[in-house]
Amino acid sequence: MNLKKLSETLGLSQTTVSRALNGYPEVSEKTRLRVAEAARRHNYRPNTRARSLATGRAMAVGHVIPISTKHEIVNPVFADFIAGAGETYSKAGYDMVLSVVPDADEARAYAEMKAKGNVDGVIVHGPQLDDRRIPLLHEIGLPFVVHGRATGASLPYSWLDVNNRHAFERATSLLLDLGHRRIALLNGLETMDFALRRRAGFEAALRARGLEADPALMRSAEMTENYGHAAAREMLSTRTAPTAFLTSSLLVALGVRRAVEETGSRIGRDVSIVTHDDELSYFRNGDDLPVFTATRSSVREAGRLAARMLLDRIADPALGPQHRLLEAALVIGPSTGPAAR
Amino acid sequence: MNLKKLSETLGLSQTTVSRALNGYPEVSEKTRLRVAEAARRHNYRPNTRARSLATGRAMAVGHVIPISTKHEIVNPVFADFIAGAGETYSKAGYDMVLSVVPDADEARAYAEMKAKGNVDGVIVHGPQLDDRRIPLLHEIGLPFVVHGRATGASLPYSWLDVNNRHAFERATSLLLDLGHRRIALLNGLETMDFALRRRAGFEAALRARGLEADPALMRSAEMTENYGHAAAREMLSTRTAPTAFLTSSLLVALGVRRAVEETGSRIGRDVSIVTHDDELSYFRNGDDLPVFTATRSSVREAGRLAARMLLDRIADPALGPQHRLLEAALVIGPSTGPAAR
DNA sequence: TGCCCCTGTCAAAGCGCTTTGGATTCGCTT
DNA sequence: AAGCGAATCCAAAGCGCTTTGACAGGGGCA
């Protein structure tokens, strides 16, 4: 069923039918109802392609997922972010188009989206230091919102981020308050901006007490269970083993827990763990009560909000850059306790 | 840059330029090169909307992600499947459009995709017993491929699946061969078809030895770490504790491991674990050597293949239903050993 | 030389929609 | 009765592309 047929059935012109459906004022309420009814009955939906060709708006937003050939990792938080963003898009009648490309082609993917005209804007994932995508998107003139921030970017841009620095500063302070002095940081990849900020928060909290971060207790890697296990195991075997761990994800925390338990120590009594928790839907930090003490911030909610920001930008391109800084909650679980003496 | 401008710059008609770029034979090699060169120089990409309006093909495939309000879980294997499928799409010049909808609206989402004409086909995720989506998609006439199978579907359809039954049958036999008699099955949600098949494999292996499955040793739930931990902990505390566990995902296995270690037993010596491993990129079963004995099948590869199947169907709608059954590898790790006596 | 058939090119129609710029009707006022 | 807005509705253009059908020009053949 298309506009033409529908208008013929109704004995109206395409113009009138179109206006009726799109809420224009110059059509009487009576015909509007008649049209709406017929549209429903025939299950009519305007063809997206034709509509966006006519309007110039694609009614879709893009997400580029780079896959590297080196370490083919699909960011685990990605699924939840997408789910959140998708909710917002659906409600607003927007489509979400994903483009999976080798990371070397990422820049090209954005240019292509613009040239092909199949999206009105994009969300930028996983910003790094001096991220190249920001000037690029400015140049090609595609509205965008960054999930996270890119330290060193000279151009203004819209972003939504968790206050990673503050979160890790608080988490570290908590451990210090509990008497811990040797605290290990198992960070995410420090090519990522968020990891740098977390580290900064960690170091700031130590400095505030006149302590200095021990390089031997700091690691940076892809956030896997194996990484947490290996790093913790190694650190725990030294004479100057840490009494507490601060980890960048639940998965890493799980690895640390395993290593700790292997030594026969008990979590929360002998060794404390604080982790960041993205509240992934399929990987919760406990069902009702938290298992780990954590800095908590829902990445799904971040997706919803970032999508909202982007749609606003698309609706009003003149809008200045917007920023949204989410604070992580600090939830206390049984994985932390006073430092053993 | 659009076709019109490009053809004006070249002093050619739009027809010729279009044909040159699309590889039609009736244009001389000389002009083809000239056109291709100019297109590259001006970074020309045909506008997707206009093109698909003209051709009638959307050059996109859809994935519907239902989110339930009850248990808002985004399937963790989803990200990797999408990544795999996305690779195939990208290479073939197709877009991937995701639609995140409340699960009550899933049927509507498919109908809408068809009516809006923004996809040429869809992939159906997570089929259940007598899945309603299969007759629905037949009815609305949208090409589709199912990832998994739907027992009880009366209409023919194309699918790609892992031989879950066989995998779990082998895994169970392995444990039986090692002398285990009390084997627990921590299955996924048994509303899912794959879980039913895994269970069938498990039971068949037991029956083949004249054993019967003990209901007390079988659980079915969303595959989380907490679930694995709670179930194992409970089972291990009984007089008739199992000596081996068969789990549906690495995450669940992790939970089991935690529970086992809490009792002071050792994995692989006192208690054995075999798990299914989807080879998720962000959650590997060991880096080089496996940590768990596992039935292994890459869900990412499944995504690549399923996407390929769908594209083939789209290219030739007359194609009969196709099936592809992938065998899981059985990899032996240190998590299994002879039953303690 | 004349005819035919390729080869290479083009103009124009059409995909399904929105939107501009009229046209028509209707209800009132004067 | 004529005139005049306001309220409705419509024809047609245009979005950027593909594709049909036609047309020049040139080489081969008799």
Nucleotide nearest to B26 (CA to C1'): C8
Q: What is the pLDDT of residue A70?
A: 60
**Residue A79 distance to chain B (closest CA, Å):** 6
Q: What is the pLDDT of residue B288?
A: 84
Query: Which nucleotides of strand D lie under 7 Å from a protein CB?
Result: 7-12, 14-21
Report which of B250, B243, B249 is spatially closest to residue A255, judged by C-alpha positions.
B250
Contacts of A103 (CB under 8 A, 6+ apart): A66, A67, A68, A69
pLDDT in tens, B227-284: 999 999 999 999 999 999 999 999 999 999 989 988 989 999 999 999 999 999 888 8
How many percent of chain A have pLDDT more than 90? Answer: 84
What's the rounded Cα separation, in Å, for the pair A246 and A20?
A: 59
What's the rounded Cα separation, in Å, for the pair A334 and B297?
A: 36
Q: What is the pLDDT of residue B73?
A: 61
Q: What is the pLDDT of residue A304?
A: 97
Nucleotide nearest to A14 (CA to C1'): D10
Q: Any bridge partners for residue A171, and if so which?
A: none
Q: What is the pLDDT of residue B281?
A: 84
What's the rounded Cα separation, in Å, for the pair A292 and A246?
A: 11
Q: In what order do the strands lie in the sheet with A218-220?
A: A218-220, A183-187, A244-247, A272-277, A293-296, A329-331
* A72: pLDDT strictly greater than 90: no
> Nearest CB to A48: which of B1, B118, B291?
B118
Give me the CA A4–C1' D10 separation in Å, rounded. 14
pTM of the model: 0.93
Tokens 């040239």, located at residue: A115
What's the rounded Cα separation, in Å, for the pair B4 and B185?
A: 64
Per the structure, the residue whose CA is closest to nucleotide C12 at C1' is B15
B163, with CB counted inside 10 A (0-12, 13-18, 19+), is middle
Fold that domain B164-297 belongs to in CATH:
Rossmann fold (3.40.50)
What residues of chain B lie within 8 A of the CB of A222, using their CB?
A: 282
Q: Answer yes or no: do B76 and A79 touch at CB < 8 A.
A: yes
Best residue of B63, B78, B98 to probe chain A, by most A CBs closer than 10 Å: B98
pLDDT in tens, A325-335: 999 999 999 99
pLDDT beneath 70, residues of chain B: 69-74, 341
What's the rounded Cα separation, in Å, for the pair B147 and B164?
A: 13
Give me the CA B3–C1' D24 separation in Å, rounded. 24
pLDDT in tens, B97-134: 999 999 899 999 999 999 999 999 999 999 999 999 99
Tokens of B109: 């989402």
Q: What is the pLDDT of residue A340?
A: 81
Tokens of B168: 């779990």
Instruction: State which protein residues have CB closer than 7 Å to strand D.
Output: A 11-16, 19, 26-31, 50, 53-54, 56; B 2-4, 14-15, 18-19, 21-22, 44, 46-47, 50-51, 53-55
The residue of chain A nearest to residue B266, with distances taken between CA atoms, is A262
For residues B277 and B250, the answer to whether their CB atoms sit within 8 Å is yes
Q: Answer yes or no: do A283 and B225 touch at CB < 8 A.
A: yes
Give me the CA B52–C1' C13 separation in Å, rounded. 17
Residues 72-91 of chain A with CB under 7 A from strand C are: none
Q: Is the CB of B56 under 7 A from strand C?
A: yes
For residues A21 and A35, the answer to whether their CB atoms sit within 8 Å is yes
B317, with CB counted inside 10 A (0-12, 13-18, 19+), is exposed
Strand B329-331, strand B323-326: pairing: unpaired
Please give the sequence-ordered ranges of beta strands (E in DSSP) within A92-237, or none if there are none: 95-102, 121-124, 144-147, 158-162, 183-187, 218-220
Tokens of B42: 């001006």
pLDDT in tens, A160-192: 999 999 999 999 999 999 999 999 999 999 999
Q: Is the CB of B26 under 7 A from strand C?
A: yes
Give me the CA A12–C1' C28 separation in Å, rounded. 27
Neighbours of B15 (CB within 10 A): 13
Nucleotide nearest to A16 (CA to C1'): D9
What's the rounded Cα separation, in Å, for the pair A163 and A302?
A: 12
What residues of chain A lie within 8 A of the CB of B45, using their CB?
A: 112, 115-116
What residues of chain B lie within 8 A of the CB of A49, using their CB?
A: 49-50, 52-53, 58, 117-118
Report which of B179, B301, B81, B329 is spatially closest to residue A78, judged by C-alpha positions.
B81
What residues of chain B lie within 8 A of the CB of A69, using their CB?
A: none
Maximum distance among all Cα pairs of chain A, rounded to whole angstroms: 88
What's the rounded Cα separation, in Å, for the pair A176 and B251?
A: 32
**Distances from the Cα of B185 to the Cαs of A206, A207, B163, B217, B341, in angstroms?**
47, 50, 17, 6, 21
Q: Which has the minimum average pLDDT: A234-238, A271-275, B65-69, B279-283?
A: B65-69
Q: What is the pLDDT of residue B273?
A: 98
What's the rounded Cα separation, in Å, for the pair B6 and B39?
A: 7
In a 3-state reduction of DSSP, which class is residue A171?
helix
Q: What is the pLDDT of residue B306?
A: 98
CA-atom Rg of chain A in angstroms:
25
Give me the CA A28–C1' D4 separation in Å, rounded. 21
Strand A183-187, strand A244-247: pairing: parallel
Which whole number is the average pLDDT over A45-59? 93
Report the CATH superfamily, name and number, of domain B60-162+299-326: Response regulator (3.40.50.2300)
B146, with CB counted inside 10 A (0-12, 13-18, 19+), is buried
What's the rounded Cα separation, in Å, for the pair B34 and B37?
A: 5
What residues of chain B lie within 8 A of the CB of A99, using their CB?
A: 86, 90, 95-96
Give me the CA A121–C1' D13 separation in Å, rounded. 29
Q: What is the pLDDT of residue B92?
A: 95
What's the rounded Cα separation, in Å, for the pair B128 and B197?
A: 11
Neighbours of B268 (CB within 10 A): 17
What residues of chain A lie within 8 A of the CB of B47, using their CB?
A: 53, 116-117
B288, with CB counted inside 10 A (0-12, 13-18, 19+), is exposed
In a 3-state reduction of DSSP, which class is residue A245?
strand
CATH 3.40.50.2300 residue ranges for chain A: 60-162+299-326, 164-297
Which whole number is the average pLDDT over A259-264? 90
Strand B244-247, strand B183-187: pairing: parallel
Using the CB atoms, write b or e for A28-62: b if 16+ within 10 Å: eeeebebbeebbeeeebbbbbbbbbbeeeebbbbb
Query: Which nucleotides of strand C lie under 7 Å from a protein CB?
Result: 7-12, 14-21
